[in-house]
Amino acid sequence: MSDPRPTSAFHTANVDLAATERLTAALDVQAANPGVRRLRAWAHERLAARPGERALDVGCGTGSETRVLANAVAPDGSATGVEPHPGLRAVAERRAAEAGSPARFLDGDALALPLPDAGVDVVWCERVLQHLDDPARAVAEIARVLCPGGRVALLDTDWATFVLHPADPEIRPALSTAVRAAAATPDAGRRLTGWLAGAGLSVDELGSDVLLHDPRTVSRPIVQGIAAAARAKDLITEEQRDRLLAGLDEAAGRGAFHLSVTMFAAVAHRPR
């Protein structure tokens, strides 16, 4: 039986304060991924936030990119992170204070941003749309708060590009289904430009990078999570799960393990 409710811990329906530490650790691991770092650097360069501008980070998590934006708009600009998860927002506030960053953080939802029309120069929204049931509405909200000429960078994963090796061909579709079920909108990556155009924004550039996961550090919990999700949804048997995990461990031991997914970034502006 498949459960239609997104299983992602980042979906607002699943807010769990006790999970803050685990979510923070997951975001820190992702932030250290070379593919994430490259795509972030690319998108920040294209977005080109300047001193004096008003920047917004939608669904800012631990606030790492809000702080980057705050540096870029300093000394007289402003950078605001909107984050509905109280635990993550507290982490963002603490880290900004520790770093001496003027970034500030607001409670709020991407679907109804707590900001007036046309009051923001640059918007960053990374790996949030995949967790929303109505991402097009969130992009329309971003378009609403952007001033004419304002710029936006959307970054998101496309979970249909997920590759895990080795895995028996007979269970690959089940693993794919389990991975996609973990996000409300798992194909967000390929839809970024369409959402931007649909919100009346003009797309300037599309970039991408592949997130390769290192078996020695992060892959084991990810793989266990996927195998557990596939098993919980009755997509694979216990025996198939155990064989998958044993095969992946064995492959990791001889350097033959592979886990990757593609992430996209689209940069656009609001026409004047």
Ligand X SMILES: C[S@@+](CC[C@H](N)C(=O)[O-])C[C@H]1O[C@@H](n2cnc3c(N)ncnc32)[C@H](O)[C@@H]1O
- Using CB under 6 A, list all residues that contact ligand X: 10, 12, 27, 58-61, 64, 83-85, 88, 109-111, 126-128, 131-132
Q: How far is the CB of 160 from ligand X (least distance, A)?
A: 17
Comparing CB distances to ligand X, the nearer of 64 and 78 is: 64
By beta carbon distance, the residue nearest ligand X is 61
CB 158 within 8 A of CB 206: no
User: CB of 60: closest distance to ligand X in angstroms?
Assistant: 6
Which helix (H) or strand (E) is 120 found in, with range?
A: strand 120-126
Which DSSP category does 256 fall into?
-
What's the min distance (Å) between Cβ of 3 and ligand X?
19
In whole angstroms, how close is the CB of 59 to ligand X at the nearest point?
3
Residue number with CB closer to ligand X (53 or 141):
141
The token pair that represents 48 in the structure block: 């080109």
Q: Minimum Å distance from CB 16 to ligand X?
A: 11
Residue 143 tokens read as 């378009």
Q: Would you call 152 helix, strand, or coil by DSSP?
A: strand
CB distance 174 to 230 below 8 Å: yes
Measured from the CB atom, the residue of 83 and 209 that comes closer to ligand X is: 83
Of the pair 92, 171, the CB lying nearest ligand X is at 92
Among the listed residues 216, 240, 212, the one whose alpha carbon sits nearest the alpha carbon of residue 228: 240
To ligand X, the closest distance from the beta carbon of 267 in angstroms equals 16
H/E run at residue 218: none
Which residue, 62 or 240, is less far from ligand X as judged by CB? 62
CB 39 within 8 A of CB 263: yes
β 258-269/146-165 pair status: antiparallel
Q: Kindly tell me which of 88 and 142 has the beta carbon lying closer to ligand X.
A: 88
